[in-house]
Every structure is written in C-alpha cells, then in structure tokens.
Structure 1
Amino acid sequence: MQAYLTFNGNAAEALAFYAKCLDGKVIFSMTFAESPMADQTPDSHKNKIMHATLEARGHQLMASDLPPNFPFDGYKGFSLSVQAKSVDEGKQLFEALGAGGQVTMPYGETFWAKGFGMLVDKFGVAWMVNAEH
C-alpha cells in the first residue's frame, strides 16, 4: 500500500519539501496542463499537479492537487510514519519535517522506542517518526 495525498494547490511545494527532508526524489510529475485533460482545465489549475510520485527511503508517496471546484477539508484520521535507522537520524527527520509545523508529541524515548515523536507539518499532514533501536 502507498499513501496518496491531495493538496490544496501546493503539491509541488510539499513534495519538494518532503524530498529534501527525507533525502528523496520526485520521480514523476504531471501538471493538469501536461495531461490529456488540459483543454478541460481552467487556467487557474493548468500549473497545478495532476499526479506526482516521490520516492524516498525505499517507499513511494503519491500526491496531487485537488481538481478545480473540489473543496479541501484538510487531513484527518491518519499519520504518515517514517522509520529512522538511529535515534540521531530520527531526531534529524523529526526536526526537518517539523520545520514550520506543529509538534504534537516531542521527540524522545518511549517504552516502545528509543526515539519517537509526532508532528503536523507546515502543509497540515500528520507524521510519526520512530527509531526503535
């Protein structure tokens, strides 16, 4: 399974941020203007992302911007989880993803992990960073 995030017009910015934080790369990106639906797309959405894929840490995250006239209701009921190889790497990931966002549980030791923390990033996406060893 893969997560697919839908953004409110800032998918390209979010994916670039995630690529930097997670040492990943956007391996595919298509705007509405580049799609077969270009002639059906209002000018306001031509440069928005119709579909993109980010590859990082051996996984893929897919994303797009909402099509025209679709309301954005935010993100509810899930978190993206990233596993760190060490406590120090986990702290770095946590700080990078949390830049401009909100910490909901500070990164630190728990009964199940040497390092764990929760945050909502600057795009409104919830993340959990875990370092078990």
Structure 2
Amino acid sequence: MPAMNPYLNFNGNAEEAFNFYKSVFGGDFTMIGRFKDMPEEYRGPESEWNKIMHISLPIKGGNILMGSDSPEHMGKVIVGNHMHISLHPETKEEADKLFNGLSAGGNVVMPMADAFWGAYFGMFVDRFGISWMINVDTQQK
C-alpha cells in the first residue's frame, strides 16, 4: 500500500496556514519550495514567485501534511478543490496502475510523467469529484 497524505491548497496564505499548523503539531518543515525556485518555464508571473509551490510538515505517526498556494492562472481555491489525496507508491509501475484505475471515468489534470523535482507525477479528479495526486520519488530509485 502506498503512503497516503492530505494535500491542501490555498489562495496565497499557505505559509501562514502551515506556520499555524506547525505551532499546533510541532516539528520542522522538511521542504519549503517557492515558485521562484522552479525552472523558469514553470514559474509564472513574478507577483507569485514568493508564494509556496510546495511545503511539507511531518506529523506524528508517519503522516505528512503537505500543501501549496494555487497559482492565479489555475483559478481561485474554493471548497471542493482545496484538498487532494496524495499517494506515494514505490514504483512507476504501481503509480501507473493506481493512476489508471482511480482516474477511469474521471478527468486527468496532469498525466503521469517525469517532473522537474525528481519525481514521476500525475494529477486527476476521479469520477466522484475527489482530487488525487500520485508522486513517485525517482531520485531514490
């Protein structure tokens, strides 16, 4: 079974929200990436460069709370698109099986592909309206 973690989306206040969560849960962020840290072709407008592209906060029990700010060109975050279930299988083969099975009858947002952060990644909304992300860390494989 792959690891399964909540992934929260925000309208520009992800850093504030995660500092609050850190004050409650404790611990330290394992990653804080900003849009300015992305390769130039993915950055978007300069007004968004300091927003959070990805942040991770380990929570007791082996869980990780993750999140990001939603870029303006992707639309405002509203209830219904503000949370994803993020799966972390160990292999590309397992990722493809999960992606193909869960996305059947749904809407593929990003097909599974190698990503610039060293992962095999894809996103979709299943036929029931649930948003999913699948991420295989290929740097350790």
TM-score, normalising length: structure 1: 0.52
2:74 to 43, 47, 70: 70
Q: Give the greater-gyration-radius structure (CA).
A: 1
Note the residue ranges of structure 2 that are not aligned, 5 or more in a row: 84-141
Find the counterpart in structure 2 of residue 18 from structure 1: 21
User: Structure 1 residues 68 and 37, CA, compared in 2 at 3 Å: closer, same or farther?
Assistant: farther
% identical aligned pairs: 37
1:61 to 62, 65, 71: 65
1:1-133 correspondence to structure 2 within 5 Å: 1-37=4-40, 40-58=43-61, 59-76=63-80
Note the residue ranges of structure 1 that are not aligned, 5 or more in a row: 80-133
Q: CA deviation at 1:68?
A: 2.6
Q: CA deviation at 1:51?
A: 0.9
2:23 counterpart SS class: helix
Q: CA deviation at 1:63?
A: 0.4
RMSD (Å), alpha carbons:
2.5
Q: How many pairs were matched up? A: 79
Moved over 3 A (4+): 37-40, 76-79
Q: Is the 8 A contact 1:55 1:61 kept in 2?
A: yes
Q: CA deviation at 1:57?
A: 1.6
User: Structure 1 residues 75 and 37, CA, compared in 2 at 3 Å: closer, same or farther?
Assistant: farther
User: Structure 1 residues 25 and 71, CA, compared in 2 at 3 Å: closer, same or farther?
Assistant: same
Q: CA deviation at 1:72?
A: 2.2
User: Structure 1 residues 23 and 72, CA, compared in 2 at 3 Å: closer, same or farther?
Assistant: same
Q: CA deviation at 1:43?
A: 1.3
Q: Is the 8 A contact 1:19 1:54 kept in 2?
A: yes
